[in-house]
Structure 1
Amino acid sequence: MNKQAKILAVIVTYNPEIGHLKSFLEELSKQIDLVLIYDNNSLNFKDIASIQFSQNVIIHSSPINKGLPTHYNAAIQYGLENGFDNLLILDQDSTFDKHFLDEYRKHLDEDFFCLVPFLVHNNNDYEEKYPTKTKNTCDYVKRSINSGTLIYLHKLPNDIRFDEDLFIDCVDFDFFIQANKFRLKTLRINSAKLHISLGNISRIGPFFLYNYSPFRLEKQTRDRVIFLRKHPISAFSLWLFLFTIFCDTKAILFERERLRKIKAIVKGFKEGLFFRTSSRQHP
């Protein structure tokens, strides 16, 4: 077990629930060397700033909502420049079990690029229907979500960064595609459980609805189109394309604010289709 490894954590916030964020940071700051918070112009930033942070919590405020990748890359750069061994990415609304980081530390001396968590959905109905299943203590995986991903910074190639053409969706998928092309190993630690929320899940008949806001749907659609333009030929891209059609159809048919959501999906599709991708493309 490597107890000496310096771990930097990064959380990007946008209109977070203050009570949860406060308690989460209180617990996290006891287990991490430094926590970077990048706020994306939250409406409740004054409430965030009023939290009595520990000395190892630093908050940065952005005048605009920059999404996720820009801040993740800033955290990578900070970690590399300040002697950190690992970067742990977390969401503002995720929670982990008490021994989550202890389970990660058992593997910090091993030959991996990333450690990722065992995901448990906060919605019991959804978790019962779509649980993550395994009988192993650890599993090699090709991808995971952003939250809970721990990157071994000393194994991060200069050509791998988060794609700043994306805003919030597919950021994780694109990152792991880059890692897989370099044949870098990702290990899921099944004893490190991360509790996550997907939108505001409800159920109608056999269907689960995510009930994302029109803004989130717009950015989600935009990012998925950009991702599919960048990675057009793969089994995962085909799955993502079909899954997106399925989810958008459910949102249009069954969720509230249908007209606004139709407009958001159409707008996001146009933005993604005509977006001029940056000249700097990672392998």
Structure 2
Amino acid sequence: MSASKRIDLTDIAGVVVLYNPDDQFFENIKTYLHQVDKLYVVDNSDKPAINVSQYIGQISKIHYINNEDNKGVAYALNVAAQAAIKDGYSHLLTMDDDSKAPVDMVESMISFHNKYPYSNKLGIISVSHSKPLKHVEYKKVLFTMTSGNIVNLHAYQKVGAYNEKLFIDHVDHEFGIRLNLLDYEIIEIADVKLNHRLGTSKSIYLLGYKYNFVSHSPLRLYYFTRNGLYIINSYVFSAPFFCMKILKLVIIESLKSFLLDDDKKNRFIYLIKAIRDALSKNLGKINV
């Protein structure tokens, strides 16, 4: 197996997906704008803020795409991936609007790619989202979170686009399983970390102990559960170990939601709907 060609910053475009971002979004973009050749800003906001378009309109390397509605993270990623391919890029950096990048993030990922002996089989190079990696330079994983990825666009074309039927949640997991099934590798680099905010942090006291946890809305619980169960049903025979991991995630998040969060009645209603919709393959965005 031969290695693919070396890459540099001119081969890499970036995408950040917006959804009703706060003003911190501008500062976040500044941390990685210089690390890509072009940045696609895909706006999924219900009502795009005027200050967003005004700010990015002043920067030549930014290409703003207004979806005029929330069409889901998978749709937004596909829009950017197709644009990057059309513009001649071989790789795409994917970022969330609440993520900040370390100054040398992309350079570290490029360096890893160029010295990896089988770089043509790298589907994704990612920052480290897993538990702290000790005494190793990198770790092969089954899947990784979307933010802080450099996606091989040749692999993207081989395995197919992000699954837009999922809308949000598990989009990265489902894409990861298809990469693995075609023998592409997903690698997290140990010494590259991302400053990323996940949900709303809350605390609760149980039996005299304080527990900190990340809270998600009942609607996000719905998407997380529905899509997780759909993936399990779709890949249980081709990737059983992967599906066991997804099932574990779904169970843990459901238990946390019921035990630690409020609005339990609404969460239960959404959970039942999620199970029904997963079994009937009723996917996409739901009306609430």
Instruction: Give the structure-2-normalised TM-score.
Output: 0.83
Q: 1:44 to 1:260 in 2, by over 3 A?
A: farther
Distance 1:246 1:107 in 2: 34
* Preserved contact between residue 101 and residue 192 of structure 1 (Cα < 8 Å): no
Tell me the equivalent position of 2:28. Answer: 24
Residue number among 260, 264, 273 corresponding to 2:266 in the alignment: 260
Percent of pairs with identical residues: 21
Q: Which has the higher helix share?
A: 2
Distance 1:226 1:57 in 2: 36
* Preserved contact between residue 170 and residue 223 of structure 1 (Cα < 8 Å): yes
The residue type equivalent to 1:192 in the other structure is: V
Deviation at 1:44, TM superposition (A): 5.5
Count of matched residue positions in the alignment of Structure 1 and Structure 2 = 267
Distance 1:147 1:274 in 2: 30
* Preserved contact between residue 155 and residue 179 of structure 2 (Cα < 8 Å): no
Tell me the equivalent position of 1:64. Answer: 69
Deviations 1:191-226 (A, max 9, x none): 221122221233444755321012222222221122
Task: Point out where structure 2 has 5 or more consecutive residues left out of the alignment.
Answer: 1-5
Distance 1:87 1:68 in 2: 15
Distance 2:152 2:76 in 1: 18
Deviation at 1:145, TM superposition (A): 1.0
* Preserved contact between residue 142 and residue 242 of structure 2 (Cα < 8 Å): no
Distance 1:161 1:237 in 2: 20
The residue type equivalent to 2:164 in the other structure is: E
Task: Point out where structure 1 has 5 or more consecutive residues left out of the alignment.
Answer: 121-130, 279-283
Deviations 1:50-104 (A, max 9, x none): 4344211122222321111112122221111111121111111112212112211
After superposition, the CA RMSD in angstroms is 2.4
Mapping of residues 124-163 of structure 1, within 5 Å = 131-163=131-163
Deviations 1:110-133 (A, max 9, x none): 41232111138xxxxxxxxxx433
Mapping of residues 99-114 of structure 1, within 5 Å = 99-109=104-114, 110=116, 111=119, 112-114=122-124
Deviation at 1:148, TM superposition (A): 1.0
Q: 1:235 to 1:91 in 2, by over 3 A?
A: same
Tell me the equivalent position of 2:216. Answer: 212
* Preserved contact between residue 13 and residue 42 of structure 1 (Cα < 8 Å): no
Deviation at 1:146, TM superposition (A): 0.9
* Preserved contact between residue 209 and residue 255 of structure 1 (Cα < 8 Å): no
Q: 1:8 to 1:274 in 2, by over 3 A?
A: same
Tell me the equivalent position of 1:269. Answer: 275
Q: 1:98 to 1:182 in 2, by over 3 A?
A: same
Instruction: Give the structure-1-normalised TM-score.
Output: 0.84
